[in-house]
């Protein structure tokens, strides 16, 4: 199962806090409809069949393909003066 670092959790919490989305929103990782790649974005709610991970005030919704592909991976984040970015670690 995907795990989150403290940095990723903090970044997701901040993104959700500064969005216009209501309670129940989260960070969704799912396969693009037109491609095999995964995409990440804020989502108002989990999609059908999503696995929901909760860490503090952060919610991550994993689409079925993402849940399989990200087993035993860790979502991490970096933040510096030029911006923030998520990345996966083994």
Q: Could you read off the pLDDT of 23-57 as tens digits, one per residue? A: 899 999 999 888 889 999 999 999 999 999 999 99
| Distance from C-alpha of 79 to C-alpha of 7, rounded to nearest angstrom | 8
Residue 45 lies in a domain: yes
Residue 89 lies in a domain: no
Q: Give the pLDDT score at 35.
A: 86
Residue 11 lies in a domain: yes
Residue 74 lies in a domain: yes
Count of domains observed in the chain: 1
> Taking 90 as the threshold, does the pLDDT of residue 22 lie above it?
no
**pTM of the predicted model, to two decimals?**
0.91
Buried b (16+ CB within 10 A) or exposed e, 56-75: eebbbbbbeebbebbeeeeb
pLDDT digits (tens, 9 = 90+) for 70-89: 999 999 999 999 999 999 99
Sequence-ordered alpha helix ranges (H) in the chain: 6-17, 64-69
Report the CATH number that the domain containing residue 29 is assigned in CATH. Answer: 2.60.300.12
């Amino acid at each position: 199962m995907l795990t989150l670092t403290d940095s990723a959790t903090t970044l997701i919490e901040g993104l959700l806090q500064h969005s216009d989305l209501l309670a129940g929103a989260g960070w969704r990782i799912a396969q693009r409809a037109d491609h095999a790649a995964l995409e990440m974005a804020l989502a108002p709610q989990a999609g059908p069949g999503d696995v929901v991970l909760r860490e503090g005030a952060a919610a991550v919704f994993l689409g079925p393909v993402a849940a399989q592909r990200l087993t035993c991976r860790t979502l991490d984040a970096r933040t510096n003066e030029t911006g923030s970015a998520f990345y996966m670690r083994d």
